[in-house]
Amino acid sequence: MLREIGVEGIVSALHDIPNGEIWTEEAILDLKNYIEAAGLRWSVIESLPVSEGIKNNAPNRDQLIDNYIVSLENLGKCGLKTICYNFMPVIDWIRTDLEYKLEDGTSTLFFDKIKFAYFDILILNRKDADKEYTSEELAKVYELDKTITEAEKEQLIDTIIVKTQGFINGNIKAGDQNPVAIFNRLLAVYDNIDKNELRENLRYFLNRIMPVCEKYGINMCIHPDDPPFQMLGLPRIVTNEEDIRWILDAVDNPHNGLTFCAGSLSTGLQNNVPELARKFASRTHFVHLRSTETLEGGNFIEASHLEGRGHLIELVKIFDTENSKLPMRVDHGRMMLGDEDKGYNPGYSFHGRMFALAQIDGVMATFQHLNK
């Protein structure tokens, strides 16, 4: 189906291998050969997950990094050279609604700041969480508390902790008993880790893996935080231009690069996405083409791939001009045309992403025609 649609490269990973364990050459080749047998290529690894123990400097950090290096060596031996990863503690991308209904009948991902604050303050009961919100936001949280149902509370827990995180990093999965308690234990590990310490933990990790990256020509591509601002009291270190520049300068090696996720960066009002693309095109090794629209009160929504603060039309032009060999993929799509009945992971619909792919394919074809 993907080949018929016109897809050339596949972005995938060995999702069945637990975080921290070694990816063997045999397992890598099994998937690589499967993809190539369909006439496609495995273009990008997304992701080779970085274990929490690496992020928080656990006693077994060096062993976890040693395992990571072996996995990188095996990927390099198999000819796979582009690795997307993130360094977000505990939680990956955050939304409060995975099926937000739009007027045309499709649904998309949505972030409601008041619902998230309710989850943070009155479900997690995180210490001093109320100090991170304005008095107006707190008033709305306690107003919501008067009407929210138990089913709606359970839905928030399932959305924020289980459904999103379960398929991304495996910290919590469907069927776990008392996910709130598990989540709070994971958060507590970072109580005494600030932004500077997390940065240094990233620098240590990158310095350890750069020799194997140089040996096999592997490009590491860090993904921006999503959304790119502080949440749940956790340090976030990939939120804006200053953060990106720090990472690239901290380990000034061309194999230490960026996954340019326009969707993540566009939810931060501090970010001018096309300007960031121009500044960091030479150190970008992979691009996520999606967009968001920011709304009043700190809310945001996944936007059409031709609209929103991601400015994808402009981004395609920038990257096609500055770094034309980049692998780029459409990311996140609406649920449409029966996608909602297929059991897809949140944001990863089939028809919705193929619709987005057609939009971006048209944009790319236009630029290529104009540049002839």
Question: In Å, what is the CA distance from 211 to each residue of 17, 55, 61?
Answer: 24, 20, 18
Residue 328 forms beta bridges with which residues?
Answer: 287
For residue 148, give the nearest of 189, 107, 109, 119 by alpha carbon. Answer: 119
**Where do the domains of the chain lie, and which CATH numbers do they carry?**
2-89+195-371 (3.20.20.150), 111-189 (no CATH)
Question: Which residues lie across from 110 on neighbouring strands?
Answer: 97, 301
Contact 363, 313 (CB under 8 A): yes
Which positions are annotated as active-site residues? 223, 261, 288, 331-332, 348
Q: What is the pTM assigned to this prediction?
A: 0.94
Per-residue pLDDT of the chain (372 residues; tens, 9 = 90+): 888 888 889 999 999 999 999 999 999 999 999 999 999 999 999 989 999 999 999 999 999 999 999 999 999 999 999 999 999 999 888 999 999 999 999 999 999 999 999 999 999 999 999 999 999 999 999 999 999 999 999 999 999 988 776 555 556 665 667 889 989 999 999 999 999 999 999 999 999 999 999 999 999 999 999 999 999 999 999 999 999 999 999 999 999 999 999 999 999 999 999 999 999 999 999 999 999 999 999 999 999 999 999 999 999 999 989 888 899 999 999 999 998 888 888 888 999 999 999 999 999 889 888 877
SS (H, E, C) 300-323: EEEECCCCCCCCHHHHHHHHHHHC
Collect all residues with Cβ–Cβ distance below 8 Å to 244 and sequence separation of at least 6: 224, 238, 258, 276, 280
How far is Cα 191 from Cα 55, in angstroms, rounded to an integer? 13
